[in-house]
Structure formats: C-alpha cells, structure tokens
Amino acid sequence: MTPLHEIIVNKNTKIKPIWIMRQAGRYLPEFREIRSKNKDFIKLCLNPILSTEITLQPLRRYNFDAAIIFSDILMLPYGLNQNIEFKKNFGPILEKLDLDKISEVKETDFVQRVQKIYEAIKNVSNNNILKDKNTIGFIGAPWTILVYMINEQSPKKKLKKDFFENKNLIDHLLIIIEKFLKIHVKNQIDNGANVIQIFDSWAGLLEDKDLPSYIYNPTFNLVKYIKSLNTPVICFPRNIKNYKKYCDFVGPDAICIDYEIDPVKIQKEINIPIQGGMDPKILLTDVQTLKKEAKRYLDIFKDHPYIFNLGHGVLPETDPGMMDYLVKTVKDY
C-alpha cells in the first residue's frame, strides 16, 4: 500500500506522508524555464509531454509521497466550450457564458477537448518514479466551477452583483457541471489517478443558509460517485466556516484544511484523516521558523491519521531549498 492509502484507507497514525499543493510549478527554476517558452497556459496543460515533465519535476528533487497532475480546475469549463485566457498578474478570464452552447456539449466532445490531460496522467502513473507513490487527479468542486463560469473571472472575495438572480441558470448549470465532473474524474481514474482531490477554492464566499444547495449536496454526489469507483477522495473546502459540519454532510475520506483554521480544534472535532494546514508563507521565513511550525502540525496530529501539506498552494517566491528542508523535517519526524 502507498503511504497515502495507508493514511486514508487504513487510518495509519505511525507515518506522516507529504505532498504539497502546487508542488509542480512556479517556485521551481526548471518549471519557469518551460513556462517561459510556453506562454499559453491552456496549451501547456494540454501538452502531455510537457505536463508529464512538469508533474515529475518536484519528485526528482524531493521525496514527496505523491505526484499531482499539472493541470487546472478550469479545464472543466474549457472542455464545455467556454474558452479561457490566463492573463498575467490578473488570472483567468472566461468568455461570456452561453448556456445553449454548453447544453449541447456531448460527452465525446468534452473528452476529446481534454483528452491530453488523461494521456499525461497515464504517462505519470506509469513512470518508475511513482513506484510506491500516488498519482493524484483532481477537479474543482461544483460551486467553485459555477463561480468561475458565471463570474467569468476570479471573484477575489466578491461575486457579481446579480450572481444569484437567475436561479434557473444556476440550477441548470449545476446539473451540467456535476455530469461532466463525473466524466472528468472517471477518465482520470481510468488512466491511473489513484486518489482524487476536490478543490472548493471559493467555499468561503457563501453564507450558511446557502451551503446545502451549493456545496454540501453537489459535493456529496461527487464524493459518493468517486467512492463507488473504489478511489479515495480528499476534499478541500477552503475557508469554509465549519469543517466538522462539512465532513458530516459530505463524507470525504480525508479533509484538507486551510491555514486560517485552528488545527487543535480540527484534531478534536474531526475523526477522519486530516491533510494540510500550514501557512505557505512559513516557507518564506527561515529554517528555524519552518522547523518549529512544521513540527507544531506534526505534534498536533501525532496520534491522528495525517498527510502533511500546506493550507493553500506553494507560493512562487518560495526558495526550493526551503522546500527540501521541509520535506526532510517531515520525513525525519
């Protein structure tokens, strides 16, 4: 069994595996070199040779326990014919939502548009470097995908004024999103992903009364589906106010926490395996601070099934040497 399966499936508390969100990417000089020659982010995600290379880069440097495929949650709207452009220092810009156009997309069209992602997953999972390690596939949660598709850009703490006005549009779109997320997950698993993470990046935008309709129920449907494919599922509802309530409703195999939540509270309240928590900014400090903070999380979850990770993605200005120190600190614990 791989270390991640030991934690998630067997609830092992003796080992503490580590992988990092955005471990393949912007802080690595070898990634920057590829990126400088490939300006179109979508095309890069759809280049199976390069996305395989980028996914494997951090595993050549560090003793991580898993590879996470180099891709993006917005490949879902892209597959549904809502084109996207990634603008430097701004983020994604999605074309105006055309529900009629999206409603006509067939499964075969969608799969054809994102097929190269599955090729990359196959390449990664078949690589010798992944022996005894996991290949993590991922999707955005229905709510977060809905936000991007209607908002047409990152909400950065606020939604369009009229976001909730067209209830019919939202209901219709959620059905389409759920259907194609299931297709996207199934293809990732069929090509070698053996853990799935669901990213709900904008879970913190909603009020409590809206959580069942937009987060609990749609995510529960996906979690249930992924479990039916005998694949463990980790959920990351970033900045959600009540992680315990979320776990009780949604029922993931493991829960990833952000850095604004108290890990001691989580350790007491939640009995499923925990992942993450440490603030990515700690990697921008010094080795003493890094060691102290990493050890704090490891101590809190000493007797709890725990996967070491950050409470968000690694920052671009992170020194690769600090990442090396972090991995060794966790492995030596």
pLDDT one-digit tens code per residue, 151-187: 999 998 678 889 999 999 999 999 999 999 999 999 9
**From CA 216, how far away is CA 203, in angstroms rounded?**
10
pLDDT one-digit tens code per residue, 235-272: 999 999 999 999 999 999 999 999 999 999 999 999 99
Write down the pLDDT at residue 141: 98
pLDDT one-digit tens code per residue, 100-123: 999 999 999 999 999 999 999 999
pTM above 0.85, yes or no: yes
Any idea what DSSP says for residue 294? H
Write down the pLDDT at residue 157: 65
For residue 146, name the pLDDT band (cuts at 50, 70, 90). very high
- Domain definitions of the chain by residue range: 3-331
Residues 135, 121 contacting (CB under 8 angstroms):
yes
> What distances in angstroms separate CA 158 from CA 141, 167, 215, 331, one per listed residue?
18, 18, 17, 40
Q: Of 1.10.3720.10, 3.40.50.300, 3.20.20.210, 3.20.20.70, which CATH number belongs to 3-331?
A: 3.20.20.210
